[in-house]
Every structure is written in structure tokens, then in C-alpha cells.
């Protein structure tokens, strides 16, 4: 295990651990090359050898402290029987939701479909390049998966129909069941940390948090902890990080780039991850590093994991990522 897990465990580390959301993917030429030959994204996620190679691409280039498995949050709707496709310059497109089919799918059918991901985790965690580093698994949060399953593409704004969907309570239960299966098998095969991506948490009004965010996420977090793994939550764009942490009690919290980091430093005690705007990686070197330094200084008396406030953008130059990672690694 590496310094990322130590930091989340509240142990002292000599350096600030660093990894980046979406570190494996769209901005790396070596990813684009593999991707151009593999036009079916889901199939690529279910190819353990190629997914392993993509997972390790950023580890080979940069001094990162952790790898995140190459996969996608939409693999869960796929495993539950909904069609999932990724269209160039559009993003994910999900098929019609056939609720009877979703309700009748068995745990074994789900696990059979996801089995290549567990193989990917097993062979990646055993690779010596990860000696002393952590391997992060992940799931989409229940709310974000519900949004995708009902909206069938990334939402631009909240479609109120989601609240009115008649089978929503059973669907939420079914999603939670699939999330637990997926987390358990990721942990059993070598993921020591699970990150929960609630990318669309910011769409919800506060009065809906209890039902759609707090209740299901607390259940998933407690379940992950019971397996002996660490859990990091990323409720993107919510304005209530303090309340969220009190309700959910994750092991660490990833903050987005809109929230004021000084407020977080003075109001939240658990390990903090992330924050810097991914657009900073598109700036001139000095401006990029000025922004990185701001986060490092604000959180210098905190348990802090350097990361971004959302994923690395496709137009990011890999050289800038290297400059950033080396800067954080040498920061005292």
C-alpha cells in the first residue's frame, strides 16, 4: 500500500500524495492510439489486457502515487441490462430502460458481465510497477446512475420527471445492490480504495438530498468500510460539503473547483482531496503552478491529497501534467 492510503488513514506522510481524476485517457496519445483501434468503448473496458495497459499508461509517464482502473461508471447500467454506447463528440447514449428486464437480472448475470473488470484489477494490482502505490476502484453514486438510466445521456439540467418516475424506489434498490456487488468484487481483487463519483449531485435541490444522496451514499460508504477498504466521495458541485461529510462520514472527500478551499480547510476535518480547476492545466506553466501552490498552502496543516476539482480535460498537454506532478512531489 502507498502514501495515498496512509494519508486517508490519517498517518503522517513525507510528501503530499497525488493522483488525478481521468488521469488515464483522452489527453494521452498512447490512449488515443489504442482507442482508435477499439471503437466500442464498453468492449475496451471489458478487455483486461488493454484496460490494464491504459490504467498503467499515466503511471509510466508521471510520478503519481496511485492508479485508477480504466473503466466507466456506466458499466453498471450496462451490466444491469441497459444498452450503453459512447458516441464521438456526444458522450454516452443509453438505450430504452426496460424496467422488467432490469428487475429480473440476477446477481450472477451482473457479475458475469463485469468479470473482466475483476480480472483487470487482479492482474494490475499484481504488476510490480504498482509496488508501493495504491490501486483505486470506483463506482458512480446511486443518484448519478439513476440520472443516467432515466435521462439516457448526460443531463444539461434536471429533468423533474426523474422525481416522478413510478418505479424509482425499486430501481434505486436494484442500483444499490449492483453497486455493492461491484464494490465487493473490486476490493476482493485488489482495489484498496473506492471512489464514489456523484457527478450530478449539484443538480439536486437541498430538500431532495436525504432521499437521493445521503441515504443511498451512506449505505454504500458503510458497506465499503465494512469490507476493509477506504472510501473517497466526490459529490461534484454540491454547496454543502460540511453537511455532506457529517451525514456520510467518508474516509476522504474530493472537492470541486467551485467551492472555496479556505472554507473547506476551516470547516472539514477529514482528509481532503482535489480542488484545483482542471483548466489550470491549460495555462502557462507559472500560472498553473501558482494555482497548485495555493491549494498546497491552504491545506498544508491538513491531511491533503493533491488532485483536481474534476477530470483532466482532453486538450491537456501531457508535458503540463508532468510539470504539475513533479512540482507537487517536490513541495515541502
Site string for ligand CP3, 96-135 (x = CB under 6 A): ----------------------------------------
Pairing relationship of beta strands 91-94 and 304-305 according to DSSP bridges: unpaired
Closest CB to ligand CP3 among residues 22, 215: 22
CB 276 within 8 A of CB 258: no
Using CB under 6 A as the binding rule, whether residue 311 contacts ligand CP3 is answered as yes
Task: Report 137-156 residues binding ligand CP3 (CB under 6 A).
Answer: 138, 154
| Number of neighbours of residue 297 by Cβ within 10 angstroms | 12
Task: Report 4-23 residues binding ligand CP3 (CB under 6 A).
Answer: 21-23
Closest CB to ligand CP3 among residues 298, 316: 316
CB of 301 to ligand CP3, least distance (A): 28
Q: How many CA atoms lie within 13 A of 104 on its CB side?
A: 5
In the list 53, 65, 72, 134, the residue contacting ligand CP3 (rule: CB under 6 A) is 72
CB 141 within 8 A of CB 221: no
Q: Which of the ranges 65-73, 166-174, 185-193, 252-260 carries the binding residues for ligand CP3, by CB under 6 A?
A: 65-73
Closest CB to ligand CP3 among residues 275, 311: 311
Closest CB to ligand CP3 among residues 26, 83: 26
Using CB under 6 A as the binding rule, whether residue 95 contacts ligand CP3 is answered as no
Q: Which of the ranges 70-78, 123-131, 216-224, 255-263 carries the binding residues for ligand CP3, by CB under 6 A?
A: 70-78
**What is d(CA 65, CA 43) in angstroms, rounded to the nearest whole number?**
28
| Close Cβ partners of 219 (under 8 Å, ≥ 6 residues apart) | 176
Nine-digit cell string for 200: 450530478
| Close Cβ partners of 229 (under 8 Å, ≥ 6 residues apart) | 183, 187, 191, 192, 193, 194
3-state helix vs strand vs coil in the chain, percent to 5: 50, 15, 35
Please report where in the chains the cell 481483487 appears, as a residue: 189
Using CB under 6 A as the binding rule, whether residue 24 contacts ligand CP3 is answered as yes
Q: Which of the ranges 85-93, 111-119, 167-175, 319-327 carries the binding residues for ligand CP3, by CB under 6 A?
A: 85-93
Q: What is the DSSP letter of 236?
A: T
Closest CB to ligand CP3 among residues 38, 265: 38
Closest CB to ligand CP3 among residues 4, 21: 21
If you count them, how many residues does the chain have? 332
Task: Report 154-183 residues binding ligand CP3 (CB under 6 A).
Answer: 154
CB of 89 to ligand CP3, least distance (A): 9
Using CB under 6 A as the binding rule, whether residue 68 contacts ligand CP3 is answered as yes
**What is d(CA 184, CA 200) in angstroms, rounded to the nearest whole number?**
24
Closest CB to ligand CP3 among residues 147, 264: 147
Determine the angle formed by the axes of helices 168-188 and 107-125, rounding to 10 degrees.
Answer: 30
CB of 143 to ligand CP3, least distance (A): 12
Task: Report 184-203 residues binding ligand CP3 (CB under 6 A).
Answer: 197, 199
Closest CB to ligand CP3 among residues 54, 172: 54
Amino acid at each position: 500500500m502507498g502514501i495515498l492510503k496512509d494519508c486517508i488513514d490519517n498517518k503522517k506522510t513525507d510528501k503530499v500524495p497525488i493522483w488525478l481524476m481521468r488521469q488515464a485517457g483522452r489527453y494521452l496519445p498512447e490512449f488515443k492510439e489504442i482507442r482508435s483501434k477499439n471503437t466500442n468503448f464498453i468492449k475496451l473496458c471489458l478487455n483486461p489486457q488493454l484496460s490494464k495497459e491504459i490504467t498503467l499508461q499515466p503511471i509510466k509517464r508521471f510520478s503519481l502515487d496511485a492508479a485508477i482502473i480504466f473503466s466507466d461508471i456506466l458499466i453498471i447500467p450496462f451490466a444491469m441490462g441497459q444498452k450503453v454506447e459512447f458516441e464521438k463528440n456526444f458522450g454516452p447514449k443509453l438505450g430504452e430502460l426496460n424496467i422488467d428486464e432490469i428487475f429480473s437480472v440476477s446477481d450472477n448475470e451482473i457479475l458475469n458481465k463485469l468479470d473482466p473488470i475483476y480480472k483487470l484489477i487482479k492482474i494490475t494490482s499484481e504488476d510490480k510497477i504498482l509496488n508501493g502505490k495504491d490501486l483505486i476502484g470506483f463506482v458512480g453514486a446511486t443518484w448519478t446512475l439513476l440520472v443516467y438510466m432515466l435521462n439516457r445521456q448526460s443531463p444539461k439540467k434536471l429533468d423533474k420527471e426523474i422525481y416522478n418516475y413510478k418505479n424509482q424506489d425499486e430501481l434505486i434498490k436494484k442500483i444499490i445492490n449492483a453497486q455493492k456487488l461491484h464494490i465487493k468484487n473490486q476490493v476482493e481483487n485488489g482495489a484498496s480504495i473506492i471512489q464514489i463519483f456523484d457527478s450530478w449531485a449539484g443538480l439536486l435541490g437541498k430538500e431532495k438530498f436525504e432521499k437521493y444522496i445521503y441515504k443511498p451514499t451512506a449505505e454504500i460508504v458503510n458497506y465499503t468500510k465494512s469490507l476493509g477498504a477506504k472510501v473517497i466521495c466526490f459529490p461534484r458541485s454540491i454547496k454543502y460539503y460540511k453537511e455532506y461529510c457529517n451525514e456520510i462520514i467518508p474516509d476522504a472527500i474530493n472537492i470541486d473547483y467551485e467551492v472555496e478551499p479556505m472554507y473547506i480547510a476551516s470547516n472539514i476535518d477529514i482528509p481532503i482531496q482535489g480542488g484545483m480547476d482542471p483548466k489550470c492545466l491549460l495555462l502557462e506553466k507559472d500560472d498553473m503552478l501558482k494555482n497548485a501552490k495555493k491549494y498546497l498552502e491552504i491545506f498544508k496543516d491538513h491531511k491533503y491529497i493533491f488532485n483536481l476539482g474534476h477530470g483532466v480535460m482532453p486538450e491537456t498537454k501531457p508535458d503540463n501534467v508532468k510539470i504539475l506532478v513533479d512540482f507537487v512531489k517536490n513541495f515541502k
